[in-house]
Structure 1
Amino acid sequence: MRRLLLIGALLGLAACAPNAAHMASRSADTPWAPNGKEDGVWSAQGEPATPPPATATGAPDFRVPANPALAVLPSAPELDAKRTYRLPELIDIAQRNNPSTRSAWERAREAALAVGMVEATYLPLITASVIGGRQSVEQPLPIPVGTQRYFETTAEGVSSAVALQWLVFDFGQRAAVADAAKQGAVAANVLFNGEHQKLIFDVTRSYYSYGAAVTNTRIARDTLRNSLAIRSAAEDRLGHGLATMVEVAQARQQVAQSELRRVQAEGKERDAYQALIAAMGVNATLRIHVGDDGKRRLPDAGNVPLDQMIKLALSQRPDVVASYSAMQASRAGIKAAEAEYLPKVFISGAVATGQGNFNANGLPTIGQQATGSGVLIGATVPLYDAGLRAAQLKQAQSRAAAAESTFQRTQTLTVTEIVAANNALRTALESYRAATALASAAAITYDAALEAYRNGVGTVTAATAADSGLLDARQAQADAHAAALIGAANLAFVVGAMTTRDTVP
């Protein structure tokens, strides 16, 4: 019977590996379908998911069975539907609800716990164990003694022990590991702050882009009204016999063109709104009344102290600080690997008690109790490990060299980003000044062209061209205004100075 049970167990174990293959599709062109063994996905609904039916053409259908339990979105933040939210308030909402900041916070907590785990190795390890058992043996007697045909013995006992293990001295290995863990915790906390800085910048950039889209939509609607004014003037002149159908057709074409650009502008506004909501990390279906900062005063480029900004960034940017901590952690790893060549001194001790009983064929029970304790001091010295420690040391040295290169590359990229951001801001400010002058001139041109056409001394072609030129100039001005604000925010971000919602330019 025991042999049969053993054979059955072995066959059951052998069947586990082939069964795993049945969970995959039969071939590369065959849709996969659940078989009811996907714990926690479809089987949690009580019934296994059925494969999708074949299509009318017989083509394979690769859809995934729906699981309604997954279609539950996180709760949306409580917002006032009648309130108009501006940039600082949107940043505050994002910081309280964006999943990326919570993930970074959990990673920082995990790194902090790792430090505590390493520091715990400085203290002794105390364990308690209890072992108990009972054994009965029955053997037939060669010659029966009365009615007794078997000789029965029973042994039972309980043993308990408390043991202590303590690594007293390891030539600084634990100290090096603890230092590496602390540097990792520093990096994780710095990157947590950096995640908030990035979130502030992302929301700021999306907010200004959305503001430009709103302004462009308003400009497109104004342009449509201008086009309607040109069409009205052309139709009025046609009614008085002063214009031709060609002029009216051109005016109507301009209205259609303006209508198209209005529709496109409204579409870009909706896209910009969704980009803002995505940057905040809230539900995309959430509707928020966003304030318009289209008239926000632009920063003055002036003579930016570039060298001072670079030094400031190299000392406070989260990625630079985290990269430096990673380099320090890798250097501590070298010390830990070098300590593997040195002996370790330990102390161990134990206190144990035991109690046992022995009984044979109903004879008086024989009992025994014992206690014991002991303390040992020892040292271990590694002699030969087939090159394992040497490989670990070289690996730690390689990681340290790579971390140092990464730190230097991060510094170089920081300088490059600051110079590029400074140039982009200067270009955006100069573009805004040029676009402002262009919009002013285009407005004068449009008013003059429309008035001249109404008085019969201008052409409809000049009026429609002025209308399109005014639209392009005003939208260019709005885009340049937003680009300047984004450029100022980007410069503050790459310097590491965009740390709160109050530091947004």
Structure 2
Amino acid sequence: MNARQAMLLLAATVLCHVTVARAFDPLRTQAAIPATSAGSIVSDPAGCVFGDPGQPLTLAEAVQRALCSNPRTREAWADVKAQAAGVGVARAAYLPTLTGNAQIVRDDSSTDVSGHPQLGSDSRSSVHSESVSLSWTLYDFGARSAALRNANALLAAAQSAQDAAIQALFVTVAKDYSAAQAAQSQLAVAGAVEQMSGRSALVAQSRVDKGIAPISDALQAKTAWGQAVLARNRAEGVWQTAQGTLAADMDLSPDRVLDLPAVAEGAHPDANFAQSVSELMGEARRTHPEVLSTQAQVDAAAAKVDQTRAQGLPTLSLVSKYLQNNQPASLGLGIPTFPATGHEWYVGVQLTIPIFEGFGRLYQVHQGEAQLERQADALEDARQHVALEVWNSYQAVRTSTAAVGDSETLLGIAEQSFAAAERRYQAGVGSVLELLNAQSGLANAKHQRVQALADWHAARLRLAGSIGKLDVVDLR
């Protein structure tokens, strides 16, 4: 085999190696963000291009904008890509290692023998050498397979952690959206109460002007009107703060004006949550992304222990090398050098047996076993945490659902009470105190109705996040 043939063999082998490596590359199957339990709300970051916020802005759009622009989701996706590359590294251990080496040197060599000039020599030549070396591990008692299991488990953990990060951000945005939606509706209610108080003040002043009511009626009604104006101003401040928080979640300027739909009427228990709380807690213990991520960490730790043990066992490898050079040759001292071409080639198997490593391997195994115990405890803690979160969220849904029905009944009664008190006062048979009490009761009932609806929506989304199934929630 000449130099040209050796180089062609090297190029062909490298091309084959690159082709096989591409087939082993897990990132080629990760062109887009992996599917998550958040459903279809996640897209490739390259496709996150938005115009102005919708009029009105829906929860689905708010979540999509936040997931595309929030650094936490991008960081989680980068972790997934890094772990996917780690899987590629572990798979590469199954492939042969091929190394090529080429060298060209200018060799000036001279020898002066004292008293025997005829034995001296002086030569100048350009020497080149080329070599190709191959090493391929054939058997290693499971070290590579354990490393691959470890890498796959870490990739699964990163993907589940990404799911958990997405769901945590989802719940945060949904909470801020509900708060902003409630603040906007509370502002509308405060404006309506202000107008209602203003009408009552005008009616009281008219009765005072006609001399059929004392001046105290007008003053009390105007006081209630002033309090309503103050409440409306406070509600506007709460709305501006909630609006700014939601805008920041979507990577918009906090002073961006948003238009949200009113809090939806007709809240009802979601059929997807009709299971018993025990079933929901059991499902969360099995399928929640936080639990899955921790379980994958346990699997990775177990594989790491196996890998550490196997690395202390013998390995059997195929080794091969081809070398050629044009090092000049000489027959002996004082004889001129002559052009020559050297060739060397060998192929064989190599057995490597670790005999003593200063007990380092033993301590590494003990360290890995301790990490495995730690991850197992973390898994149990994660299961308990998600179960408690499901329990609390489930109770919040039950409480808020009952509150929605109670607030609707209370609002109906308060509206009837205010209408009756207003008619009685205008007819001159009711007192201004009766009117203002009914007016205050109606205002409180409206605020409680809005808050009950907002709390129900927030509790429903929190429960969905607790069981790890955000795709069961209608985001319209």
**TM-score over 0.5 (shorter chain):** yes
Tell me by how many angstroms 1:152 deviates. 7.3
Pairs within 5 Å for 1:182-261: 182-261=152-231
Aligned to 2:399: 427
Q: SS at the partner of 1:464?
A: helix
Q: For residues 206 and 447 of structure 1, what CA distance do their matches in structure 2 show?
A: 35
Q: For residues 285 and 142 of structure 1, what CA distance do their matches in structure 2 show?
A: 94
Per-residue deviation, residues 211-260 of structure 1 (Å, max 9, x unmatched): 22221111100110111112212322332234444443333222221111
CA separation of 1:154 and 1:465: change in aligned 2, threshold 3 A:
farther
CA separation of 1:142 and 1:267: change in aligned 2, threshold 3 A:
same
Whether the aligned pair in 2 keeps the contact of 1:294 and 1:478 (CA below 8 Å) is: no
Please, which runs of 5 or more residues in structure 2 have no aligned partner?
1-45
Pairs within 5 Å for 1:35-434: 77-79=49-51, 83-134=55-106, 136=108, 154=124, 156-282=126-252, 284=254, 286-299=256-269, 304-356=275-327, 366-434=338-406
User: What residue identity is the alignment partner of 1:437?
Assistant: T
Whether the aligned pair in 1 keeps the contact of 2:263 and 2:454 (CA below 8 Å) is: no
Q: For residues 54 and 305 of structure 2, what CA distance do their matches in structure 1 show?
A: 60
User: What residue identity is the alignment partner of 1:305?
Assistant: S
Please, which runs of 5 or more residues in structure 1 have no aligned partner?
1-73, 146-150
Q: For residues 337 and 272 of structure 1, what CA distance do their matches in structure 2 show?
A: 53
**Which range moves more in the overlay, 326-335 or 236-245?**
236-245
Q: SS at the partner of 1:292?
A: coil
Aligned to 1:489: 461
Q: For residues 116 and 323 of structure 1, what CA distance do their matches in structure 2 show?
A: 22
CA separation of 1:300 and 1:133: change in aligned 2, threshold 3 A:
closer
Q: For residues 104 and 257 of structure 2, what CA distance do their matches in structure 1 show?
A: 67
**Which range moves more in the overlay, 412-421 or 243-252?**
243-252
Q: For residues 319 and 460 of structure 2, what CA distance do their matches in structure 1 show?
A: 64
Whether the aligned pair in 2 keeps the contact of 1:155 and 1:358 (CA below 8 Å) is: no
Tell me by how many angstroms 1:364 deviates. 8.1
Q: For residues 121 and 463 of structure 1, what CA distance do their matches in structure 2 show?
A: 84
CA separation of 1:350 and 1:285: change in aligned 2, threshold 3 A:
farther
Tell me by how many angstroms 1:264 deviates. 1.4
Q: For residues 212 and 499 of structure 1, what CA distance do their matches in structure 2 show?
A: 23
User: What residue identity is the alignment partner of 2:398?
Assistant: R
Tell me by how many angstroms 1:490 deviates. 1.7
Tell me by how many angstroms 1:102 deviates. 3.6
Tell me by how many angstroms 1:476 deviates. 1.3
Whether the aligned pair in 2 keeps the contact of 1:197 and 1:499 (CA below 8 Å) is: no
Whether the aligned pair in 1 keeps the contact of 2:184 and 2:260 (CA below 8 Å) is: no
Per-residue deviation, residues 433-460 of structure 1 (Å, max 9, x unmatched): 2323332333333333444444444443
Higher helix fraction (1 or 2): 2
User: What residue identity is the alignment partner of 2:287?
Assistant: Q
CA separation of 1:181 and 1:429: change in aligned 2, threshold 3 A:
same
Per-residue deviation, residues 103-125 of structure 1 (Å, max 9, x unmatched): 33332222222111101111111
Whether the aligned pair in 2 keeps the contact of 1:453 and 1:459 (CA below 8 Å) is: yes
User: What residue identity is the alignment partner of 1:350?
Assistant: K
Aligned to 2:408: 436
Q: SS at the partner of 1:290?
A: coil
Alignment TM-score, normalising by the size of structure 1: 0.74
User: What residue identity is the alignment partner of 2:362?
Assistant: A
**Which range moves more in the overlay, 214-223 or 430-439?**
430-439
Per-residue deviation, residues 451-481 of structure 1 (Å, max 9, x unmatched): 4444444443443343333222211111111
Whether the aligned pair in 1 keeps the contact of 2:244 and 2:256 (CA below 8 Å) is: no
Q: How many residues align?
A: 422
Whether the aligned pair in 2 keeps the contact of 1:169 and 1:345 (CA below 8 Å) is: yes
Whether the aligned pair in 1 keeps the contact of 2:267 and 2:453 (CA below 8 Å) is: no
Alignment TM-score, normalising by the size of structure 2: 0.78
Q: SS at the partner of 2:470?
A: coil
Sequence identity (%): 23
